[in-house]
Structure 1
Amino acid sequence: MPISAIEHWAYCPRQAILIWQEGYFESSTDTVRGDLAHSAVDRGGTLTGRDGARVWRSLPVRSDRLGTHGICDTVYRGTEGLIPVEHKSGKYTPGGPADLQVAAQVLCLREMFTEPVPHGEIFAGASRRRYAVAIDDALAAEVSDIVEQLRDRIADTRLPPPLIADRRCVRCSLRPGCMPETASREHTDLFAPRPVRDHDE
């Protein structure tokens, strides 16, 4: 499973399956803004940071134990060990889907390298700050659980029903194809979502 699908699933299961099973995607102002914000790290390569730390950009990672793979925007090798940094163009919401994305990156790096990977970080473009994300057993278990949910849902081949339209739908670029307005309240009992959280493209 792609690591980015973990974040999509945590935000909205239907969104994740539309992208990763149906191959449906639409660009919007937010997705283009995110692409532009990622342009520097997407070039790849290595460099030395101002503090002398080695930095990898667009580093491929994988975990055979989890059965997932993806790309770390940047990985810093400092005195603490390796620290992946996920870049987001918007604001950071503690406990949001981005935490699960960077947690999966940490778990991949811990499996791939013998060096310590103490935590992950999220760089929020809105505040121009990095936020540390501690990866405890509970968060690691949630990542593993989501990967299994994704695997089961994709194997099932059924598209999750649309949820009752809420604030997640307002700026979602997939809204035209998702059609959340067609949802009925019984759908929420069949496929309960996670609590609503902010999402950065």
Structure 2
Amino acid sequence: MYREEDFLQLSGIQHFVFCRRQWALSYIEMQWQENVRTAEGRILHEKAHDPSLKEKRGDLLIVRAMPVHSREMGVSGECDVVEFHKAPEGISLAGREGTYIAIPVEYKRGIPKTDDSDILQVTAQAMCLEEMLCCKIPRGYIYYGETKHRVEVIFTDEIREKVKNAFTEMHKYYEQRYTPKVKISKRCNACSLKDICVPVLNKRKSVSTYIDKMLSEKENE
């Protein structure tokens, strides 16, 4: 179990999966720059994260900006939206009649990604909710602003294991204050930290590596 002062930000898992260096620059070195994509995403989340907007629609209760945490994984954060659906197999909620099942809904500005960064983020939210509410959450959703459509995510054992492994690795880097080198790809062009990261410089061999190689070649002559 992690201490509260050692908790990492839950939302960081999305950045970590996208690029470990980007995550380290943002969450270890505390460097950040906003571009059009991050600005649009921030505006979308601000609308979803208004805690004053609680809705009750029949047997459905909608809670926004719900704080969550996990001592087992050592993370904390907020769910954009948690839907509580009335169901006989659910759990009791304070001040509410009946029992409910919890379903997290994460909001994203664009379209579904080719990697599983969004999936791991909403899965991590569900795992936090399960620990806090002592329940089982089988599925959740990701709402994409560009398509205006929500995608169902089934929280499989494989996805849950990926979440645990990612947070374990994140804690290791954070404790060591280690910023990984960049793995250059096409995604670098869309990264808000491109000017800080300067990925092209990481392609060049360091002076010390060059000297070591030259000395080794001399010794073998």
TM-score range, shorter chain: 0.7 to 0.9
Q: Which residue does the alignment assign to 2:112? A: 92
Alignment coverage as a number of residue pairs: 186
Superposition pairs for residues 62-81 of structure 1, below 5 Å? 62-79=69-86, 81=101
Any conservation in 2 of the 1:34–1:88 contact (CA below 8 Å)?
Answer: yes
Structure with the larger helix share: 2
- Cα shift at 1:51: 5.4
Q: Hey, what's the Cα distance between the residues in 1 that align with 2:178 and 2:138?
A: 38
Taking structure 2 as the reference length, the TM-score comes to: 0.78
> Hey, which bits of structure 1, 4+ residues long, moved more than 3 A?
49-52
SS class of match (2:42): helix
Taking structure 1 as the reference length, the TM-score comes to: 0.86
Q: Which residue does the alignment assign to 2:14? A: 7
Q: Hey, what's the Cα distance between the residues in 2 that align with 1:49 and 1:94?
A: 35
Instruction: Rate the CA distance shift 1:182–1:77 in 2: closer, same or farther, 3 A.
Output: same
Q: Hey, what's the Cα distance between the residues in 1 that align with 2:43 and 2:147?
A: 17
- The structure whose Rg is larger is 2
Aligned Cα RMSD in Å? 1.9
Any conservation in 1 of the 2:59–2:86 contact (CA below 8 Å)?
Answer: no
- Identity over aligned pairs, percent: 29
Any conservation in 2 of the 1:47–1:56 contact (CA below 8 Å)?
Answer: yes
**Corresponding letter in the other structure for 1:16:** W
Return 5+ residue gaps in structure 1 as ranges.
188-201
Q: Which residue does the alignment assign to 1:190? A: none
Task: Tell me whether 1:172 sits opposite 2:179 in the alignment.
Answer: no
Superposition pairs for residues 23-172 of structure 1, below 5 Å? 23-48=30-55, 50=57, 52-79=59-86, 81-93=101-113, 96-164=116-184, 166-172=185-191
Q: Relative CO higher for 1 or 2, CA cutoff 8 Å, sep ≥ 6?
A: 1
Structure with the larger strand share: 2
